[in-house]
């Protein structure tokens, strides 16, 4: 497979320059950089679409940033971006366009690709979603017994779960409190059982969200949910209590869902890039079509910024290039995402799929092995909770973790001093992570000598601070698009295909063989002896 975008970044001239800049700046700390240039904090802060990004606490200077920008040019990141936005098949291993940006084009847009106006297709589905969501919200759409819908259960997994689940929490302030959304993803029977336990089938509506409509967990949970409903209200109830979101109309029909109740999307929407497609149907019911449109507008504002802003002021470009610097030159394998917002508590989980399913790859798009480390391990928890858990390692552990601290300036829930306390904690952590505390400073606090070493904070942890004006549908869209495009920039620099996910397939296949061995009681049918022994143990214990 040939791919002009799969060039090895380590042979780009800028790579050698960056390696030499890394070597010559080894002893320069973030504290040194901050103290040497009072203007740094203004120079290294950029803003777009209600979000500011401050990279002044990263271990970069202007030479490093220039060389990173050269690397992006040498790796043809702008050409790759334009190819993606134009609908070229940049997902080469699946021979697909990658057009999630088309999902959030303004109303009335047109984007012709493959002979179709995909923007018109998007508008048509959005229109159907809006009128259906509005019907559910107003009570026009009722269950089979004539009662109003009070609970929506989204059954999906991966991209068909994480985005809607994250957005439902993030935009709770904007949601209709008369309708509760629930998210079932795990094939663990406990997930569905516990969600359904308090619910009434007469007032519950299921959204079966699956791009392929073949995913084992989703289809198994969907069947069980169907049995639950049919057991209470009979087959005839299915059409009032089940809708589908999928690209696979044949399997949706086979499941028994009327195509009138199916909301489609397209193979050019990757699962982890789909929360603003019909996969966001539960989000739309929760927040209403107008707020959903505002979310799309926020996505689009960041898309336009990514496509047009000068690279030196381009948030996704800077964020992506800093990530490459941290991963490949500072040898930092992991990034903690630390949102100081309870509303963003599922954002790290959402980003794990977005980033790690996209860039957790060891071969470039042409199949050749990557000669440099690629996607970082991403994880996190909201602040301030994480401070009382894993921050000890962030501050004094032997592994350096890069951090994204996300703060929100305005809260819809003012309560005494709490919002200021929250932001103060976010900024304090960013400061300590970046600057640390020297032995002399610890001594100056009057610390007994035997404790000095324990209280020294190395600092020098590369940290970005994102400040969101207010968390609303618009800025949430912009925030997600920022990370999407940062992931894109990283993948483009590394020459990998950020839009396939072959690494998840084998496990699914092996699970089917093991399930068969379990169900037929024949562990020895499995050739892997460790698995066969584990199956025996399981059969003996279950
Ligand atoms: O197994 C990984 C994956 O393919 C993800 O990429 C995707 O988001 C998820 O499974 C769910 O897939 P589907 O929407 O087809 O059920």
Tell me the CA–centroid distance for residue 524 and ligand 1, in Å.
Answer: 31
CA–centroid distance, 444 to ligand 1, in Å, is 55
Q: Which atom of ligand 1 is nearest to the CA of 279?
A: 14
Residue 21, both tokens: 């800049």
Residue 130 tokens, joined: 């809006």
- Cβ within 8 Å of residue 111, ≥6 positions away: 87, 99, 102, 105, 117, 118, 119
> Measuring from atom 10 of ligand 1, which residue has the nearest CA?
158
Q: From 91, 159, 273, 282, give the residue whose CB has the most ligand 1 atoms within 8 Å, as the site to mutate.
A: 159
Ligand 1 site-directed mutation target among 271, 498, 509, most atoms within 8 Å of CB: 271
Atom of ligand 1 nearest to the CA of 217: 16
How many Å from the N-terminal Cα to the C-terminal Cα in the chain?
47
* Backbone φ and ψ of 417, nearest 5°: -90, 5
In this predicted model, what pLDDT tens digit does every residue of 213-257 receive, in sequence order?
999 999 999 999 999 999 999 999 999 999 999 999 999 999 999
CB 316 within 8 A of CB 488: yes
CA-to-CA dists, residue 540 to 143, 514, 518, 533, 537, angstroms: 44, 15, 11, 11, 5
Distance CA 138, CA 350 (A): 30
Distance CA 294, CA 290 (A): 6
Q: From ligand 1's centre to the CA of 279, what distance in Å?
A: 12
User: Active-site residue 388, yes or no?
Assistant: yes
Q: How far is the CA of 72 from the centre of ligand 1 (A)?
A: 30
Q: Which of 79, 64, 80 is nearest to 14 (CA)?
A: 64
Q: Which residues pair with 466 in a beta bridge?
A: 53, 406
What is the spatial distance between Cα 4 and Cα 80, in angstroms, rounded to a whole number? 9
Which one of 91, 158, 216, 499 would you pick to mutate in the ligand 1 pocket, going by the greatest count of ligand atoms within 8 A of its CB?
158
Q: Strand 242-246 to strand 262-264: parallel, antiparallel, or no bridges (unpaired)?
A: parallel
Helix (H, G, I), strand (E, B) or coil at 379: strand
Q: How far is CA 542 from the centre of its chain?
A: 36
Ligand 1 atom at shortest distance from the alpha carbon of 246: 14
- Yes or no: say if 240 and 274 are a contact pair by the CB < 8 Å rule: no
The structure tokens listed for 20 are: 């030499």
- Is 233 assigned a catalytic role? no
**Contact predicate 265/274, CB 8 Å:** yes
Per-residue pLDDT of 121-158, as tens digits, reads 999 999 999 999 999 999 999 999 999 999 999 999 99
Which stretches of the chain score pLDDT less than 70?
A: 1-4
Q: Where does residue 150 rank: exposed (0-12), middle (13-18), buried (19+ CB within 10 A)? A: middle
Question: Coil, strand, or helix at residue 132?
Answer: helix
271 CA from centroid of ligand 1 (Å): 6
Q: Any idea which residue has 């948030």 for tokens?
A: 315
Angle at 266 between CA 261 and CA 267, to 5 degrees: 135
Distance CA 244, CA 251 (A): 10
- Biggest CA-to-CA distance, the chain: 77
The secondary structure of 304-365 as a DSSP string is HHHHHS-GGG-HHHHHHHHHHIIIIIS---EEEEEEE-GGGTTHHHHHIIIIIIHH--SB-T
Contact yes or no for 423/384 (Cβ under 8 A): no
DSSP codes of every residue in 274-306: -TTSGGGHHHHHHH-HHHHHHHHHHHHHHHHHH
Q: What percent of the chain has pLDDT over 90?
A: 99
Please tell me the predicted confidence (pLDDT) of residue 3: 66
Say how many Å lie between the CA of residue 159 and the centre of ligand 1. Answer: 6
Mutation choice for ligand 1 from 157, 218, 505, 508, CB with most ligand atoms inside 8 A: 157
Burial-class residue 110 by CB neighbours within 10 Å (0-12, 13-18, 19+).
exposed
Retrieve residue 263's tokens. 């909301």
Residue 67 CA, ligand 1 centroid: distance in Å: 37
Question: Which residues, including other chains, have CB under 8 Å from residue 254's CB and lie 6 or more apart?
Answer: none
- CA 272 to centroid of ligand 1, rounded, Å: 8
Whole-number Cα distances in Å, 494 to 9, 55, 57, 319: 6, 21, 24, 15
Q: What is the pLDDT of residue 270?
A: 98
Rg (CA), the chain: 25
Q: Which atom of ligand 1 is nearest to the CA of 504?
A: 1
SS3 222: helix
Q: How far is CA 498 from the centre of its chain?
A: 13
**Whole-number Å distance between alpha carbons of 516 and 518:** 5
**Ligand 1 atom nearest 357 alpha carbon:** 6
- Catalytic-labelled residue, pool 217, 357, 381, 484: 357
Respond yes or no: is residue 300 known to be catalytic: no
Q: Are 276 and 477 in contact (CB under 8 A)?
A: yes
Element at 409 (helix H, strand E): strand 402-410
User: From the alpha carbon of 157, which atom of ligand 1 is closest?
Assistant: 11
Name every protein residue with a CB atom under 6 angstroms from any ligand 1 atom: 157-160, 210-212, 215, 218, 271-272, 357, 501, 504
Distance, in Å, from the CA atom of 36 to the CA atom of 33, rounded to the nearest integer, reads 5
CA 432 – CA 468 distance, rounded (Å): 21
C-alpha 503: how far from its chain's center?
Answer: 18
Which of 79, 124, 290, 508 is labelled catalytic?
508
Closest ligand 1 atom, residue 505 Cα: 1
Ligand 1 center–CA 501 separation, angstroms:
9
- Residue 374, sorted as left (phi over 0), alpha (psi -120 to 50) or beta, turns out to be beta
Q: Residue written as tokens 């304090």?
A: 428
State how far the Cα of 275 lies from the Cα of 272, in Å rounded to an integer. Answer: 7
């Amino acid at each position: 497979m040939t791919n002009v975008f799969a060039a090895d970044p380590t042979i780009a001239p800028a790579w050698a320059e960056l390696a030499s800049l890394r070597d010559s700046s080894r002893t320069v700390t973030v504290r040194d950089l901050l103290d040497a240039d009072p203007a740094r904090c203004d120079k290294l802060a950029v803003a777009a679409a209600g979000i500011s990004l401050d990279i002044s606490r990263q271990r970069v200077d202007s030479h490093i940033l220039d060389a990173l920008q050269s690397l992006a040019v040498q790796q043809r990141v702008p050409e790759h971006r334009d190819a993606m936005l134009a609908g070229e098949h940049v997902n080469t291993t699946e021979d697909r366009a990658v057009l999630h940006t088309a999902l959030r084009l303004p109303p009335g847009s047109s984007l012709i690709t493959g002979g179709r106006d995909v923007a018109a297709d998007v508008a048509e589905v959005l229109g159907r979603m809006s009128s259906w969501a509005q019907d559910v919200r107003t009570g026009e759409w009722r269950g089979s017994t004539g009662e109003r819908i009070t609970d929506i259960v989204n059954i999906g997994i991966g991209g068909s779960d994480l985005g809607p689940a994250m957005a439902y929490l993030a935009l709770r302030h904007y949601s209709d409190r008369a309708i509760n959304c629930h998210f079932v993803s795990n094939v663990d029977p406990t997930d569905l059982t516990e969600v359904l336990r308090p619910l009434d089938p007469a007032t519950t509506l299921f959204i079966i969200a699956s791009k392929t409509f073949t995913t084992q967990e989703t289809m198994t949970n969907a069947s069980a949910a169907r049995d639950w409903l049919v057991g209470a209200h009979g087959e005839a109830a299915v059409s009032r209590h089940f809708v589908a979101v999928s690209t696979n109309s044949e399997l949706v029909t086979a499941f028994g869902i009327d195509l009138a109740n199916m909301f489609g999307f397209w193979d050019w929407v990757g699962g982890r890039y789909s929360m603003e497609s019909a996969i966001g149907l539960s989000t739309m019911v929760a927040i209403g079509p107008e707020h959903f449109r505002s979310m799309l507008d926020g996505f689009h504002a960041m898309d336009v910024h990514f496509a047009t802003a000068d690279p030196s002021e381009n948030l996704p470009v800077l964020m992506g290039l800093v990530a490459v610097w941290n991963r490949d030159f500072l040898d930092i394998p992991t990034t903690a995402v630390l949102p100081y917002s309870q509303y963003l508590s599922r954002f790290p989980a959402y980003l794990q799929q977005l980033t790690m399913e996209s860039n957790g790859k060891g071969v470039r798009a042409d199949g050749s092995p990557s000669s440099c480390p690629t996607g970082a391990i991403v994880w996190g928890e909201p602040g301030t909770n994480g401070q009382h858990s894993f921050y000890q390692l962030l501050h004094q552990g032997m592994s350096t973790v890069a951090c994204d601290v996300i703060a929100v300036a305005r809260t819809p829930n003012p309560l005494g001093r709490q919002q200021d306390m929250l932001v103060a904690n976010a900024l304090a952590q960013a400061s300590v992570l970046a600057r640390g505390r020297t032995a002399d400073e610890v001594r100056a606090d009057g610390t007994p000598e035997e404790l000095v070493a324990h209280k020294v904070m190395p600092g020098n942890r590369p940290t970005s601070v994102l400040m969101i004006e207010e968390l609303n549908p618009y800025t949430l869209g912009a925030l997600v698009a920022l990370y999407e495009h940062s992931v894109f920039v990283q993948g483009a620099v590394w020459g990998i295909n950020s839009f396939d996910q072959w690494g998840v397939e084998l496990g699914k296949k092996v699970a089917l063989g093991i399930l068969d061995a379990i169900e037929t009681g024949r562990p020895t049918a499995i050739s892997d002896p460790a698995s066969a022994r584990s199956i025996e143990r399981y059969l003996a214990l279950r």
